[in-house]
Structure 1
Amino acid sequence: MTTTTTAARPASSAPAPADLRRSALPLRRRLTDGFAKGLMVLALLVALVPLGLVIYKVIEAGAGVMSLDFLVDDIPNSARRAGGGMGPAVAGTLIITGAAAAMSIPLGVLGAIYLNEYGKQNALARLIRTMADVMTGVPSVVMGLFVYVSYVLLVKEQSGFAAALALGCLMLPIIIRSTEEMLRLVPDELRQASAALGARRWKTTVSVVLPAAISGIVSGIMLAIARAAGETAPVVLVAGTAFVSNWSLSGDNTTLAAQIFKNAGEFFPAAQGRAWGAALTLMAIVLVFTVAARLISSRFAIKER
């Protein structure tokens, strides 16, 4: 009695389309593929040119005035005066942007969770998406005017809180839409596996869905924070003017973006130097917080094995 030696071969031995080498593809497909890659690389290089020029110019013009004193000294009350610093603007940027983030990030993330995990395509979810899309395109000066009319005139005081409220309204739709898109990219298999283990929906969302999408969520949040930190019109309209540091949300305040706008329009070299220094400081602050947010999010992200 003989045994059959032609056992079933492993499925992995069968050639698969994904295993085909590039050299085995037709010449026309290889040329098309190379041409498309070349166009993408060229587009990337073209996009990097203006970005590189902006970074180079800001560093070149702002490095000359950068020092520890520049970061902590008060703003001169006269544009023609040399010296001084951006201490009040640094403090105002951190306080106002931080308060705006504290208001908008929880609301934005929770709103996105409702839209993607609970609301789906019901009437309320569609209304929220539409309003978020509309708010995304609202100019910042319009949001500043809205806060000025609805809050500043009501309390009869310009303040850092009013500026934080305006910036928070600008950040909210960006966080909602970007977070929802990241949650959509999480495979449904992860949700189904968690549900099969007996986890409730909220537990699945907190322990499975959010960690899987945390990197993309953090990227959207940092884009919103960067936009808020660079906004000028709402701050000029509702925050007032400050020449000394104000570490509270009450009373007049200022930000680096507002000081860039005010000093760049002056004809005096001292004021223009302070504008370039404020621009470099703002870029550095955004970079530091972006790197820190990346490091923190990587701690909670689901690691691929």
Structure 2
Amino acid sequence: MSHASQLRKPSTLQGASLPKWFSLAAAAGSIALGIGISAAAGLQSSIQWALIAAALYVLGTYAIAARVEGSRQGKDRVATSLIWVAFILAVIPLASLVYETIKRGVKVLDGYFLSHSMGLVSDSEPGGGIYHAILGTLEQVGIATVISVPIGVLTAIYLVEYGRGKLAKAVTFFVDVMTGIPSIVAGLFILSLWIVILGMGYSGFAGSMALTILMLPIIVRSTEEMLKLVPNELREASLALGVPKWRTIVKVVVPTSIGGITTGVMLAVARIAGETAPVLLLVWVTNFINSNPFSDPQASLPVYIYLQYSQSGGAGAAYDRAWAAALTLIAFIMILNLAARGIARWKAPKTGR
């Protein structure tokens, strides 16, 4: 046999393979069988037939793939199927939450709702708005951010660039402990210190201090990880040119990781924007506009949602206002996350080709 004919001969090492549309066909068949089995068994919950369909999809994929492609490819397809099932199970509750919030929240969400307070409207009456709650949330979260960002970033810089010995270990330990502190504990700490001992009274600033405690470990940890990703070669090159270490950190390390640091800060802000317990303990509630965060009770979106829903009885104007406020809070957090992604992409180091 000539060399050319040997090249033209198809290889016998290539085994049989399933078509590309096999996964979609298997998923459609599993859904149909799941619905049929649920109907035959009298199961009414959609969750039950979905779980049955998921189990049939994984088992059917393995059985067919192992028979056609071999057990090794069958195991690979099972792993892929499990990943897809886990992804869908994670997305469905999120999509359902967003859908329900939008469907119920758009009923009263308009310009009037966003620009008026509840000062002259009772909970059972239609009308009113969340302007006072939006203003309170922005001020409380803003103050907490102004306090926590410099402390958190500088702490992370110390741990990465200078931290050696017992002090660094102690700081790391307390940061880890603070990461797991429940929000109600942070609120109780500020309540006992600021209001009970010092007698300063309820205010937006008191709530901001509790939110600062919750923000700090997130900022420290995220900034620390971003700083560790900066290549040591950049530091060494700067130091080799005679640049002091502090100037290397300011001009080289921090600008290189500023995108990730900003993302961590935005995520921390999104984390505290929906906190209810410490705000309810320290800021208290009011239906009137209070633009001074350092004096008297102040409204906030999470507490506004809680109060409107608890007083609505599951229907009525207060019920609609609670869902509209929840939609506003979700939109606020989504805007923060999109802004974080945009800043991270904008500030990402540019690699030359």
**TM-score normalised by the chain length of structure 2:** 0.74
Matched residues in 2 for 1:205 and 1:34: separation?
47
| One-letter amino acid of the counterpart of residue 148, structure 1 | L
2:285/2:303 contact within 8 Å kept: no
Matched residues in 1 for 2:265 and 2:171: separation?
19
Figure out how many residues of one structure are paired with residues of the other and give that number. 281
Deviation at 1:206, TM superposition (A): 2.2
Deviation digits for residues 223-247 of structure 1 (CA, Å, limit 9, x no counterpart): 2111111000111111022212222
Q: 1:289 aligned to 2:289? A: no
Within the candidate set 300, 303, 306, 1:255 is matched to: 300
Which has the larger displacement, 162-171 or 32-41?
32-41
The structure-2 alpha-carbon separation of the partners of 1:133 and 1:67, relative to structure 1 and needing over 3 Å to count, comes to same
Deviation at 1:185, TM superposition (A): 2.1
The structure-2 alpha-carbon separation of the partners of 1:90 and 1:180, relative to structure 1 and needing over 3 Å to count, comes to same
Within the candidate set 174, 191, 215, 1:131 is matched to: 174
The structure-2 alpha-carbon separation of the partners of 1:40 and 1:129, relative to structure 1 and needing over 3 Å to count, comes to same
Matched residues in 1 for 2:332 and 2:238: separation?
39
SS at structure 2 position matched to 1:155: coil
Deviation at 1:39, TM superposition (A): 3.4
Deviation digits for residues 174-216 of structure 1 (CA, Å, limit 9, x no counterpart): 1111211222222222222222233222222222222332332
1:100/1:168 contact within 8 Å kept: yes
Aligned to 1:80: 124
| One-letter amino acid of the counterpart of residue 262, structure 1 | L
Write the mapping of 1:185-264 to structure 2, written as runs, cut at 5 A. 185-250=229-294, 251-264=296-309
Which has the larger displacement, 162-171 or 45-54?
45-54
Aligned to 1:171: 215
Which has the larger displacement, 131-140 or 153-162?
153-162
The structure-2 alpha-carbon separation of the partners of 1:35 and 1:118, relative to structure 1 and needing over 3 Å to count, comes to farther
Which has the larger displacement, 234-243 or 69-78?
69-78
1:101/1:225 contact within 8 Å kept: yes
The structure-2 alpha-carbon separation of the partners of 1:80 and 1:294, relative to structure 1 and needing over 3 Å to count, comes to same
Deviation at 1:35, TM superposition (A): 4.7
The structure-2 alpha-carbon separation of the partners of 1:86 and 1:231, relative to structure 1 and needing over 3 Å to count, comes to same
Deviation at 1:63, TM superposition (A): 1.1
Aligned to 1:47: 90
2:262/2:343 contact within 8 Å kept: no
SS at structure 2 position matched to 1:158: coil
1:87/1:244 contact within 8 Å kept: no
Q: Considering only aligned residues, what root-mean-square deviation do their CA atoms show, in Å?
A: 2.2
Q: 1:302 aligned to 2:302? A: no
| One-letter amino acid of the counterpart of residue 96, structure 1 | Q
Deviation at 1:43, TM superposition (A): 2.4
Matched residues in 1 for 2:166 and 2:191: separation?
32
Matched residues in 2 for 1:156 and 1:203: separation?
41
The structure-2 alpha-carbon separation of the partners of 1:37 and 1:211, relative to structure 1 and needing over 3 Å to count, comes to farther
Q: 1:96 aligned to 2:143? A: no
Aligned to 2:150: 106
Matched residues in 1 for 2:74 and 2:266: separation?
39
The structure-2 alpha-carbon separation of the partners of 1:36 and 1:129, relative to structure 1 and needing over 3 Å to count, comes to same
Deviation at 1:38, TM superposition (A): 4.1
Matched residues in 2 for 1:33 and 1:223: separation?
35
Within the candidate set 171, 186, 189, 1:143 is matched to: 186
SS at structure 1 position matched to 2:210: helix
Deviation digits for residues 81-137 of structure 1 (CA, Å, limit 9, x no counterpart): 211000100000111001111110111011001001110x42111111111111111
Q: Give ranges in structure 2 of 5+ residues lacking alignment.
A: 1-13, 15-69
